[in-house]
Structure 1
Amino acid sequence: MKHLVKAIVLVAIYLLFLTSCSGSSAPQAENDESGNDPTVEAVAPTPEPPVSGSKVEQIQFDSQALGKEMHATVYLPPDYSPDFRYPVLYLFHGYGGSHGDYFTYLHLDALADRLLQEDLIHPLIIVAPEYGNSFGVNSKPGEGNDPGSVSIGPYEDYLIQEIIPFIDTHYSTQASKAGRYIGGISMGGYASLYLGLTHHELFSKIGAHSAALWTYTSSDQFTDQRDWLYADERLRSGRDPFILAAPENLGEMEIYLDAGKGDALAEKDYELYTLLKTKNADVTWATAAGGHDAAYWGGQLEAYLGFYAGTHHVRSTP
């Protein structure tokens, strides 16, 4: 009898031990069909790294053409990767401006980020180079009547032979005509037309926004700059976009021209548009309220990026 009572007590103690180990408040789960023990806590998967934001870099290098250190501002899109080849927009500032103006004053990087997030443009690299008040041409001292503020030197060689190879070497670019665009504002609009039409084998898109152009009429603006740039007929024939707009320079190229309705340069820009149409160029004209100022350009930046990298085509406006 004593042995039976002792056995019952031992069994009771053993059952109490099992209950305390298993936790009586939580039901035991059965193994799932895969054979894994679901009572083992699953390890949470490592979260995907967040998409990196865009970057605005300041670069500098020694220009052999100009014999001095030069600079540029470079926009890299969010999640920039060396495993992907990006088209490049070379963007030129206006007279008296700086290569950082698009980002400091017009906040181009924030706009590009938003348009990318909304899937309105494709990822691209934007390069705003330093080029002084050179208009992007090769010039020499005494070659014209210097108005006192232009930048004289082989700036075309620097931009074409040094900037473009530097960018293609140091960044993951589409190093081809199809993946290379050029544009600018005011003097930069002239520079983009001049360089784009002169080196048409390098660029597939030209954007000239409120471009500085001249037709030698009484409505010409900034005539001191005109007379330096077009000091004689030889220089004018090699620099004037109205002359450079020949059919052989326009193949496989899109051109976007615009100016504010209150801009005195709008008349000249529209004249170039009508000329390009007669040459069967793929050209767009756009205009809106505004003048020759940052307020107008800031309001048009989305349309500009839409032209260069948009996921839809830009339409002309009367």
Structure 2
Amino acid sequence: MKPVSICAWWWLVVLVLGLGPEAQAATDNLNPTGSMEYGVFRSDSLGRDVPYAVSLPPSYATSPERRYPLVIFLHGMFNDERDWEARGVQAALDAARAKGQVGDFIVAIPRGENSFYINAKQGDRYEDAIVRDFLPFVEKRYRTLGTRQGRLIAGISMGGYGALLIAFKHPSLFAGVAAHCAAIFTEVPRPPQSADDRIGLWRYGLATKLYGDPPDAEFFEAHSPLAVARARADAIRTLNIYFDVGSEDRYRFDIGNQRLHETLDAVRVPHEFTLATGGHGWAFLVARSEAAFGFCWRTLAPSVSPGSAKSRRK
């Protein structure tokens, strides 16, 4: 009789004893480096093919019957799907896995151009592209759990805004949302009073592209995470909510994030908010990666059946 290998013996222990998510994470982390794939998906909402990236966990290639929780991640302005890897976020996720802080999940990143991921007043329908096109594509193409409990949406800057808005408008699709230095406006941007007000000029120019020229106040409210949170407080209480922002955010989005924190407190929606030392952008996310990925895993881990090495679609 041939001796049983250590690897085979360990998986036998996992299956027999019914180890929970923490133990599952430990086995995942024996080889913590994930892999990246790049491709395109067809978006009927946009009428064209759209590039995307996907981060596959290290066990994906070796466990062909296993299904995984899913994070949809939305990038920021003037970025694209390749920045997840290029800016060090994938490396930070690998590091968190290596430390046993998170288990295995898939991350899918669609290209969002500079859309803010909304159905623009006059322009592309990016919210529909994410909800109606990209999410179904990912769940057909990759081995996801395909359940609300196994899905989370996250994003940075413009993508943080998009993640919050989409989660608040579609809470039945996601177990949670995570946003980093989200680009939240507290009111409709108005024309700046001075040509020296560069941030004011930038904000107003962006608002005219998103909310109409001049910006339509009613349309703005319908796409404000602050207003949607107030209007849909009962529905979004089902979400796990996390957001953080730098105290030195160069666009002053710390003000909008603080206002969202106050708004959620006022309508009694539980959430995690951190005003952290730092600026705006990818370096801030990488610095906060342990807390960010820890939140993602705490939200998604219950979707992985305790003791199951092969979580299946329900």
Q: How far does residue 139 in structure 1 lie from its aligned partner after superposition?
A: 2.1
Residues 1:228 and 2:205 are matched in the alignment? no
Secondary structure of the structure 2 residue equivalent to 1:113: helix
Q: In structure 1, what is the Cα distance between the partners aligned to 2:86 and 2:177? A: 23
Report what 1:12 is aligned to: none
Structure whose residues are more often helix by fraction = 2
State which of 199, 204, 212 in structure 1 corresponds to 2:170: 199
Q: Tell me, yes or no, if the aligned pair for 2:181 and 2:253 is still in contact at 8 Å.
A: yes
1:303 and 2:287 matched: no
CA distance in 2, matches of 1:311, 1:214: 27
1:155-214 Cα shifts (integer Å, max 9, x gaps): 111111111111111111121221111111110111001111111111111112111111
SS at match of 1:61: strand
What is the aligned partner in structure 1 of residue 195 from structure 2?
none
Instruction: State the alpha-carbon separation in 2 of the partners of residues 250 and 204 from structure 1.
Output: 10
Matching residue of 2:134: 163
CA contact (8 A) 1:87 1:124 kept: yes
SS at match of 1:266: helix
1:287 equivalent to 2:262? Answer no
Instruction: Confirm or deny that 1:237 pairs with 2:221.
Output: yes
1:117 aligns with 2:101: no
Give the letter aligned to residue 139 of structure 2.
D
1:88 aligns with 2:90: no
1:275 is matched with: 263
Q: CA deviation at 1:224?
A: 2.1
- Over aligned residues, Cα RMSD in angstroms? 2.6
What is the TM-score of this pair, normalised by structure 2?
Answer: 0.75
**Cα-to-partner distance string for 1:69-93 (whole Å, 9 max, x where unaligned):** 2111101111113422211111111
Partner of 1:126: 107
Q: Distance in 1 between matches of 2:31 and 2:257?
A: 41
Q: CA deviation at 1:44?
A: 7.5
Provide the secondary structure at the position in 2 that maps to 1:215. coil
**Which structure has the higher relative contact order (CA within 8 Å, separation 6+)?**
2
Equivalent AA in structure 2 for residue 76 of structure 1: L
Mapped to 2, the partners of 1:180 and 1:249 lie a distance apart of 17
Q: Aligned with 1:282: secondary structure?
A: coil
Identity of aligned residues (%): 29
Decide whether the 8 Å contact of 1:119 with 1:311 is kept in 2.
no
Structure 2 gaps of 5+ residues are 9-29, 193-198, 302-314
Query: What is aligned with 2:119?
Result: 138
